[in-house]
């Protein structure tokens, strides 16, 4: 097909297109905001991973609602779900990057930040694809209360993660993320770190009394089926990293539509 584009127009178009697909530049900017002296253990990584998880973990496979598409935690209703307390820090850390790359959607930025943070903390490479769009109405928010409650144990965990479409093995792999970060009294009511290396992603399972464990984490050791998988991962870092990467990649794709199509497969 003939067009009237001149060479300059074509160059302008290529430059425009390149800039809007340059996710590597966004990744670099995310890496730069990870070290944050004075914040927690000196890294924004853990809270960025929690943001990606909470943005996606509202997914309900039965109604195909919720999930990371839409970035609806920008709205007061979802932001004020008690489960999301403290995630305003993560969203604020990312705001300058959104300003630098206004073409990226919040939904892509939040999920990509979680992926980059895991990688930079020594974790696996998680598959990630762009193309999420931001919803524009508060009424697009999923109902509050879909995220798991730390005070509950195996039945609740299964209810919540089966609703998203995960298996027991994927649940244990995902909860391995509690190898990074900590609890904050003013956010969840719980306090303290669950690892001596909160900024290193590992398969370390520490049952030391000095560290805290949520009832939900204890459930992984109490429930025989969960415990069996915990033991596999404790002995096989490679298996844990592989399974975590695919389960986290799957989590970030739940409910995502691109060009009007469901793209569940990576
Ligand atoms: Zn968490 N998580 N989580 N989690 N989580 C906290 C912190 C972090 C549960 C939960 O109640 C809590 C997954 C699953 C589950 C992270 C990632 C992932 C905290 C502490 C609580 C209470 C919050 C605070 O006080 O700041 C429950 C009940 C879960 C399932 C049953 C999954 C899945 C995750 C990712 C794949 C991370 C990285 C943190 C640390 C955040 C930080 O700021 O240090």
Span 55-61, mean pLDDT? 98
Same domain as 241, residue 193 = yes
Using the atom order of ligand 1, give the atom closest to the CA of residue 152: 28
- Residues of the chain with pLDDT > 70, as a percent, come to 94
pLDDT at 205: 63
178 CA distance to ligand 1 centroid (A)?
Answer: 6
77 torsion bin: left (phi>0), alpha (psi -120 to 50), beta (else): alpha
188 CA distance to ligand 1 centroid (A)?
Answer: 9
Classify the complex by whether its ipTM is higher than 0.95, answering yes or no. Answer: yes
186 CA distance to ligand 1 centroid (A)?
Answer: 14
pLDDT at 264: 39
Measured by CA distance, the residue closest to atom 44 of ligand 1 is: 181
Q: pLDDT per residue over 70-122, tens digit each?
A: 999 999 999 999 999 999 999 999 999 999 999 999 999 999 999 999 999 99
- 62 neighbors 254 (Cβ within 8 angstroms): no
Using the atom order of ligand 1, give the atom closest to the CA of residue 41: 44
Same domain as 204, residue 87 = no
Same domain as 133, residue 17 = yes
- Residue-averaged pLDDT of the chain: 92
pLDDT at 135: 97
Same domain as 254, residue 141 = yes
Same domain as 96, residue 220 = no
Same domain as 254, residue 179 = no
- 123 neighbors 77 (Cβ within 8 angstroms): no
How confident is residue 183, by pLDDT bands cut at 50, 70 and 90? very high
266 CA distance to ligand 1 centroid (A)?
Answer: 25
Which position has the higher pLDDT, 126 or 203?
126
pLDDT at 209: 59
Measured by CA distance, the residue closest to atom 5 of ligand 1 is: 50
Span 178-185, mean pLDDT? 95
Same domain as 61, residue 122 = yes
Q: pLDDT per residue over 23-57, tens digit each?
A: 999 999 999 999 999 999 999 999 999 999 999 99
How confident is residue 59, by pLDDT bands cut at 50, 70 and 90? very high
Same domain as 135, residue 22 = yes
Measured by CA distance, the residue closest to atom 43 of ligand 1 is: 47
Show the ligand 1 pocket: residues with CB < 6 angstroms: 46-47, 49-50, 53, 86, 148, 150, 157, 174-175, 177-178, 180-184, 187-188, 190, 214, 216, 248
Same domain as 234, residue 190 = yes
Enzyme catalytic residues: 54, 194
Same domain as 100, residue 49 = yes
| CATH number of domain containing 84 | 1.10.520.10
Residue 266 has pLDDT above 60, yes or no: no
138 CA distance to ligand 1 centroid (A)?
Answer: 25
Tally of structural domains, the chain? 2
- 113 neighbors 51 (Cβ within 8 angstroms): yes
pLDDT at 122: 97
pLDDT at 16: 77
Contact partners, residue 179, CB within 8 Å, separation at least 6: 194, 195, 200, 201, 202, 203, 204
Residue 108 belongs to what domain range? 8-147+249-258
Q: What is the pTM of this model?
A: 0.93
Same domain as 130, residue 56 = yes
- Answer whether residue 92 is part of any domain: yes
Q: How far is CA 165 from CA 7, 63, 123, 171, 174, in A?
A: 50, 12, 23, 10, 13
Measured by CA distance, the residue closest to atom 37 of ligand 1 is: 50
Q: pLDDT per residue over 140-156, tens digit each?
A: 999 999 999 999 999 99
């Amino acid at each position: 097909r003939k067009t009237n584009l001149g060479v300059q127009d074509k160059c302008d178009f290529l430059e425009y297109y390149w800039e809007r697909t340059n996710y590597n530049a966004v990744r670099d900017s995310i890496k730069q905001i990870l070290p944050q002296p004075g914040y927690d253990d000196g890294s924004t990584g853990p809270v960025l991973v929690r943001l990606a998880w909470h943005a996606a973990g509202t997914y309900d496979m039965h109604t195909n609602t919720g999930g990371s598409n839409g970035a609806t935690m920008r709205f007061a209703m979802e932001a004020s779900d008690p489960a999301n307390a403290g995630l305003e820090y993560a969203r604020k850390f990312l705001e300058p990057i959104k300003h630098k790359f206004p073409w990226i959607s919040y939904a892509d930025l939040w999920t990509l930040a979680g992926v980059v943070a895991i990688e930079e903390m020594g974790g696996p490479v998680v598959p990630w694809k762009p193309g999420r769009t931001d919803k524009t109405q508060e009424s697009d928010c999923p109902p509050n209360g879909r995220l798991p409650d730390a005070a509950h144990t195996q039945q609740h965990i299964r209810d919540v993660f089966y609703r998203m479409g995960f298996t027991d093995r994927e649940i244990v792999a995902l909860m391995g993320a509690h190898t990074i970060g900590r609890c904050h009294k003013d956010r969840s009511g719980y306090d303290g770190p669950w690892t001596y290396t909160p900024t290193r992603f590992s398969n370390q399972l520490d049952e030391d009394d000095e560290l805290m464990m949520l009832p939900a984490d204890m459930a992984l050791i109490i429930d025989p089926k969960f415990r069996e998988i915990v033991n596999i991962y404790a002995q096989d870092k490679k298996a844990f990293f592989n399974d975590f990467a695919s389960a986290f990649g799957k989590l970030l794709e739940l409910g995502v539509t691109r060009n009007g199509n469901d793209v569940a497969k990576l």
